Structure 1
Amino acid sequence: MLGPAALIAVALAATFAGLAFGGGAAEQLIQDPGPIARYGVPLAKLFVNLGAAGMIGALVLAVWALSPKRREFDLALDVAAASAAIMTVASAATGLFTFLLVTAVPFDLSDAFGQKLGQFVTTIELGQAWLTTTLVAAAVTVLCFAVRNQTALVFVTVLAAASLVPLAQQGHAAGAAGHAAAITALGLHIVFVCVWLGGLVTIVLLKRELGAKRLPVVLARYSTVALVCFIVVALSGYASAALRIGDWDQLGTPYGLLVVVKVAALIALGLFGAAQRRFLIGRMSRGAGEPGSGAGAFWWLVVAELAFMGLASGVAAALARTATPVSEEQAGSLARTPAEILTGEPLPPWPEWTRFFTEWNPDLIWLLACGFGIFFYVAGVRRLRKRGDHWPIYRTVLWVAGLLLLAYVTNGGVNVYEQYLFSAHMLAHMVLTMAVPVLLVPGAPVTLAARAIRARKDGSRGGREWILLAVHSKFASIIANPIVAAVLFAGSLWVFYYSPLFRWTMLDHIGHEWMIVHFLITGYLFVQSLIGIDPVPYRLPYAFRLLLLLGTMAFHAFFGLAIMSSTGLLLADWYGAMGWGTDALVDQQLGGGIAWSIGEIPTVALAITVAVQWARSDEKESKRRDRHADRTGDAELDAYNAQLAAIAERDGRRQ
């Protein structure tokens, strides 16, 4: 087809042009591996990116926009399988060319070459990354043929996205001063580009199968996803460029000019998407294939859009081989103090209490998650109000406040100092697992989604269907059980801090993100079991809820006291080696005090809320009984009195 052909042709041309302009394939002065390796790495990586896009984009389209009752679903999975196969071959080739590039060993078929290559992919981190990518892509290839269940395909999609993790940890991100921020930005950029590009390519390949009536429906669903992708790609691209370019005057460098070209392509893609959403999709829906429906203009626009995507992809492949203005050697030279050696980041200012409100360490994942969470929640409330439905204002206020607090904890001063001070880390933990859920749970997001999101009728699953399926799943019924939620909430404290998990979250950025998710979910499940509005399979009676709250928080307080009275350092080679001149043991004991004391405020708030809900429940039950008595004329009471009189009369006769 013309669209995919234009994508590949423009991508190849842009890659060669970018390499020539930026010097990414220039001959090396010492131990040059030859032109095959110099050009082979970026070209093979280009097809890795395109294969990943087709794989992830087709899978996302299958689980979000297509119906398994139609042939379109199976064809999309065929596209995903073929793309994953391309990615597998391209990843293996990239690993081979990378080995040639970094070792300058000439290629041959001898056993010695094979042994060196095997050692590279099994013992060297860079080689291990490409081996992992190849194996995961191969696994996804098989699964796309074998799996046709929509729910199971979600896990296949997650696995496909996980294949990009090694890519996000390579390249310029691996040596940047803002290592965590660089990995986050690059990871988000790659994943959402794949969804955006791959989804559009899949629609083009399914054009004939979708037909004139079905195509606008699928396009409308894809368009919403594409808009989210555009926002994420734009912000993550800006963050990545800022880390690698530094000052604005560096835009005149070869790397900076290639970034400018990529930004221009992104702006053009945004304009194409706006034209689709505002004009063409609506005309196609109304015309349904009739003359003047805009279908011809739409397909020409798609070809142009794919061409610009090819331009951006080719430039990205060239950028990966182009020297950045902020060099990796310059970033590495920042490590002077023990703290900087451990964290790889410049030492922040001395942690006076005001610094917790003035210092910032942005985490793009959570900025975007909180921003989208607020936007979609408010949009749902607005949709309810437009059709005349009521939604309490306090729910919206609490939800927004909870996400703003989450954004602060994951991006503000607490996030700056938690790597260096155990007390700051414990403060973040307590806020994530106790304060934020107390604000989010009363917002009732599942109830809002069930009421505000339109239901699908074609067998596909949108936001409403996936949310309700997750909430009513067997797994959710287990972890949402009040006893299980309490055990996860309290027990994970001991498991986390007295196991290798704690060290993993300090050393690995992925571990740090997992920690945030874990604390947030366990806290949310526990609060939901006590005061939640959203539907759950089982709720304890109010009296038992109070007992569960008091018992769990007593266990929580005991953990804080154990930390306070401890005479041994947790992660002594980390918090005890920062070299700030502070007493790490005193700071750890302060963290224990935070765990013990801060938990009291949410506990009181939860206890009051449970008591209020209990009183309102009794009041509602009393009113219900009064209304029933008014309707039946106290028939139940009269029947009960008659039963007592009959028993008394029978006893009298026996005497």
Structure 2
Amino acid sequence: MAPGVAAPAGPRPARSPRTGDGTSRQADWLRIAALAVAAVAAVVAGIAFTGAASPTALRDPGALVRWGLPIASTAQELAASATLGGLVLLATVLVRRDEAVVRAAAGVTAAASAVWTLAAVVELVLTYANVAGLSPTDPAFGGELGQFVTTFELGRVLLFVAVAAAVVTALALMTTSPVGTAWIAGLVLVALWQSAQTGHAAGAASHDLATSSMFLHLVGAALWIGTLLALSPLAHRLGADLAPAVARFSVIAAWCFAAVAVSGTVNSIVRLGSWEDWTTRYGVLLLVKITLFGVLGLLGLAHRRRVVDRLRGDQRAPATWLFWRLVLVELTVMGAVSGVAVALGSSPPPVPDDPITDPTPAEIVTGHALPPEPTTLSWITQWRWDVLLASAAVAGVVVYLRWVLRLRRRGDTWSWLRTTSWVTGMVLFFWTTSGGPAMYGHVLFSAHMVEHMILAMVVPVLLALSAPVTLALRALPSRASRAGAGRGAGDASRGPREWLLGLVHSRVGRFFAHPVVAAVNFAGSMVVFYYTDVFRWALTSGVGHYAMVVHFSLAGYLFVNALVGIDPGPTRPGYPQRLLLLFATMAFHAFFGVALTTGDVLLVPDWFGLLGREWGPSAIEDQQRGGGVAWGIGELPTLALAVGVAFAWARDDERTAKRRDRKVERDGDTEMDEYNAMLARLSARDGDGGPDPR
């Protein structure tokens, strides 16, 4: 080409999207700044609208505290969300092709948790200043703050959240493995559970419902906001891996939307006593939050339908810009929703959070009014909703049916009997944890035993026969099958299928699935539960109650699966050994039931003995009835399992015989021929005067 002649215009070489540049990083931080500005603006507007930051008549802490506390709470919630989102990215969302991307994600998580720690400390200080009506600059503030975090429950909870955030910051810098980040995410969930205890409880009568719904609300919002927030500064590094990351996030966002919608509805019901309360400032602010949440859901739907498909097939600038445009709007709306939520938390609801006046003995002990005398009808009509467990049951039905439909769409079959067994088990679980057994199990030992036996012995049989693990392994896509797609060394991330396989084949999973261990755990944990303070913990603590439900349901499933189940995991012994384990368990249940029936020492007497019941038998007589329930309900499923094991044994012998018959028809009865030949040789040797075969 001659000098001075311009080169013909052509397509500019594409810059590696992984490398990124200062402009991309600056744009990412501008998006995050937009979220923070929208959140702070929503907090300020909401506080000004409700008047929550107006000076108080007595012991006003000052404008700095009144306005700073909601802003610190917003920063704390957003930073905690980003921390959880970063951990989720590392555990299951990000495509693990490039270690630099993994380290960058860990850095984002550590930075978010550091901000969370700082915001949590500021919130702790300002919360005490607001409660005490004392300025942080007061000379006596430091000493009183120390008493606040050691003496009062609110102070201990806020201190625990701050310490947990600091621990997460340290751990996030030490590990980037999926398993390690999953354990750290568990610590974040514990901190969110503690945070749920500090919100509006809508009166003592609805404390449990408000707490569980608030926890579901916090986790759903944190996963949704935090994952997208943590993904934003990493997007320019991902390149072709952006499409699968966004697709995986979209699935998480859909479930989070459902969780936030359900929990938000429950919170609205318990905080607003009548339709007139919607016209109050609190009600109007709640309507604003609902509107913003609806807009957020529509944006998420558009995001899923349009952007994900375009990113999978087109990495050019228009598709990427469309993604960032929606992300920017979605993050901004998320920030506004978070700000309005903090403003709601700083405002008194129409239903005051006041202690119950003139409580009954049952309300003093349990926090709930005594239910009516139990009848056959009341066991069906009385409900005490548990949002977490009810949502888990509904989600279980939805997920199982979606897996079945996925198999049928690709031409595979799945037994309708297994599907019916799963749905029946989930419906029974739903009723047991939110219906009559849950209502009366809080005040009657016999009803508690009904709840326990159904969860440990009836529901697990239905769930084990439905083979959920087998269905999941057939329906869930494998990320390993796509490991070689595209460039790089492959996708080393863990999806739901990989997490399930890892759990089933882990040393812990194999240990607890072993038939002997499962039987000992199933039977022995009952003695540990009822004859130690664990029973008291389950009655007095929400965490203890959930631990009881999860433990006995899982222990029952592992035991049943080891005997008659279909799912992988245990190395099942022969059928005689299975029957031996089953009869030993049956004998133990009989012994346990007889011990309760004949016992004259009341378990947890400061609970069951102080309820002031005017109906039903005495507490010790009711406990003895509970022993009969443990014996009766425990024996019936065990007998059914014995019949199932015997039937499976007979079918196994029949299948073995049929296989042998087919082999004889194909190859001849070689074993019988060899045996007859041996007899002939022995006979011939005896006839020749050989040694006596005896």
TM-score tier, shorter chain, comes to over 0.9
CA spacing shift, 1:374–1:97, aligned 2, 3 Å: same
How far, CA to CA, are the matches of 1:264 and 1:200 in structure 2? 21
How far, CA to CA, are the matches of 1:584 and 1:102 in structure 2? 42
Taking the TM superposition and a 5 Å limit, the aligned residue runs for 1:83-482 are 83-108=112-137, 112-173=140-201, 175-211=203-239, 213-287=240-314, 289-290=315-316, 294-329=319-354, 332-333=355-356, 336-456=359-479, 457=483, 458-482=491-515
Letter paired with 1:285: R
Which deviates further from its counterpart, 404-413 or 388-397? 388-397
How far, CA to CA, are the matches of 1:413 and 1:452 in structure 2? 35
Taking the TM superposition and a 5 Å limit, the aligned residue runs for 1:23-38 are 23-38=51-66
Task: State the SS of the aligned residue for 1:173.
Answer: coil
Letter paired with 2:223: V
Q: Which residue of 2 aligns with 1:504?
A: 537
RMSD over aligned Cα atoms: 1.6
Taking the TM superposition and a 5 Å limit, the aligned residue runs for 1:549-568 are 549-568=582-601
Letter paired with 2:226: G
How far, CA to CA, are the matches of 1:174 and 1:503 in structure 2? 25
Q: Deviation string for 1:26-79 (max 9, x for gaps)?
A: 111101111111122211111110111000011112211123342332222221
Q: Which residue of 2 aligns with 1:6?
A: 34
Q: Is the 8 A contact 2:393 2:430 kept in 1?
A: yes
Letter paired with 1:126: L
CA spacing shift, 1:275–1:539, aligned 2, 3 Å: same
Q: Is the 8 A contact 2:168 2:184 kept in 1?
A: yes
Please say if 1:600 is aligned against 2:629: no
How far, CA to CA, are the matches of 2:160 and 2:329 in structure 1? 35
Q: Is the 8 A contact 1:72 1:209 kept in 2?
A: yes
Deviation at 1:113, TM superposition (A): 3.7
Task: State the SS of the aligned residue for 1:164.
Answer: helix
Deviation at 1:258, TM superposition (A): 1.1
Letter paired with 1:382: L
How far, CA to CA, are the matches of 2:49 and 2:680 in structure 1? 102
Deviation at 1:114, TM superposition (A): 2.8
Q: Deviation string for 1:601-631 (max 9, x for gaps)?
A: 2112111111111111111111122222223
Deviation at 1:587, TM superposition (A): 1.3
Deviation at 1:109, TM superposition (A): 8.2
How far, CA to CA, are the matches of 1:525 and 1:335 in structure 2? 47
Q: Is the 8 A contact 2:92 2:178 kept in 1?
A: no
Q: Is the 8 A contact 1:100 1:106 kept in 2?
A: yes
Deviation at 1:175, TM superposition (A): 4.5
Q: Which residue of 1 aligns with 2:580?
A: 547
CA spacing shift, 1:580–1:537, aligned 2, 3 Å: closer
Q: Is the 8 A contact 2:84 2:185 kept in 1?
A: yes
CA spacing shift, 1:335–1:77, aligned 2, 3 Å: farther
Ranges in structure 1 where 5+ consecutive residues have no aligned partner: none
Q: Is the 8 A contact 2:125 2:136 kept in 1?
A: no
Deviation at 1:154, TM superposition (A): 1.3
Deviation at 1:408, TM superposition (A): 0.6
Q: Which residue of 1 aligns with 2:681?
A: 646
Please say if 1:486 is aligned against 2:519: yes
How far, CA to CA, are the matches of 2:676 and 2:389 in structure 1? 63
How far, CA to CA, are the matches of 1:640 and 1:366 in structure 2? 62
Which deviates further from its counterpart, 489-498 or 379-388? 379-388
Of the three residues 527, 533, 538, the one matched with 2:571 is 538
Please say if 1:628 is aligned against 2:663: yes
Q: Which residue of 2 aligns with 1:77?
A: 106
How far, CA to CA, are the matches of 2:31 and 2:567 in structure 1? 45
How far, CA to CA, are the matches of 1:120 and 1:367 in structure 2? 36
Letter paired with 2:656: E
Letter paired with 1:146: M
Q: Is the 8 A contact 1:480 1:525 kept in 2?
A: yes
How far, CA to CA, are the matches of 2:79 and 2:68 in structure 1? 16
Task: State the SS of the aligned residue for 1:325.
Answer: coil
Q: Is the 8 A contact 2:382 2:439 kept in 1?
A: yes
Q: Is the 8 A contact 1:335 1:346 kept in 2?
A: no
Name which one, 1 or 2, has greater alpha-carbon Rg.
2
How far, CA to CA, are the matches of 1:645 and 1:436 in structure 2? 59
User: Structure 2-normalised TM-score?
Assistant: 0.91
Deviation at 1:413, TM superposition (A): 1.3
Q: Deviation string for 1:112-168 (max 9, x for gaps)?
A: 543322221122211111110011111111111101222222111111111112210
How far, CA to CA, are the matches of 2:548 and 2:236 in structure 1? 46
Task: State the SS of the aligned residue for 2:606.
Answer: coil
How far, CA to CA, are the matches of 1:453 and 1:372 in structure 2? 16
Which deviates further from its counterpart, 178-187 or 519-528? 519-528
How far, CA to CA, are the matches of 1:274 and 1:315 in structure 2? 22
Task: State the SS of the aligned residue for 1:506.
Answer: helix
Q: Deviation string for 1:338-375 (max 9, x for gaps)?
A: 11121222332222221010111111111111111111
Deviation at 1:257, TM superposition (A): 1.1
Deviation at 1:304, TM superposition (A): 0.8
CA spacing shift, 1:291–1:50, aligned 2, 3 Å: closer
Letter paired with 1:258: L
Ranges in structure 2 where 5+ consecutive residues have no aligned partner: 1-27, 484-490
Deviation at 1:386, TM superposition (A): 1.7
Of the three residues 520, 532, 553, the one matched with 2:553 is 520
Q: Deviation string for 1:497-531 (max 9, x for gaps)?
A: 11111111111111111111111111111111111
CA spacing shift, 1:638–1:463, aligned 2, 3 Å: same
Deviation at 1:648, TM superposition (A): 4.1
Deviation at 1:423, TM superposition (A): 1.2
Task: State the SS of the aligned residue for 1:398.
Answer: helix
Task: State the SS of the aligned residue for 2:94.
Answer: coil
How far, CA to CA, are the matches of 2:106 and 2:260 in structure 1? 25
Give the percent of matched residue pairs that are identical in Structure 1 and Structure 2: 45
Q: Is the 8 A contact 1:174 1:183 kept in 2?
A: no
Q: Deviation string for 1:74-104 (max 9, x for gaps)?
A: 2222211111111111111111111211123
How far, CA to CA, are the matches of 1:325 and 1:190 in structure 2? 22
Q: Is the 8 A contact 1:335 1:344 kept in 2?
A: no
CA spacing shift, 1:532–1:229, aligned 2, 3 Å: same
Of the three residues 570, 582, 587, the one matched with 2:622 is 587
Q: Is the 8 A contact 1:335 1:341 kept in 2?
A: no
Deviation at 1:650, TM superposition (A): 4.2
Q: Deviation string for 1:405-437 (max 9, x for gaps)?
A: 001101111111111111111100000000000
How far, CA to CA, are the matches of 2:624 and 2:376 in structure 1? 18
Q: Deviation string for 1:243-285 (max 9, x for gaps)?
A: 1112122011111111111111110111011111222211221
How far, CA to CA, are the matches of 1:107 and 1:56 in structure 2? 31
Which deviates further from its counterpart, 304-313 or 121-130? 121-130
Q: Which residue of 1 aligns with 2:8?
A: none
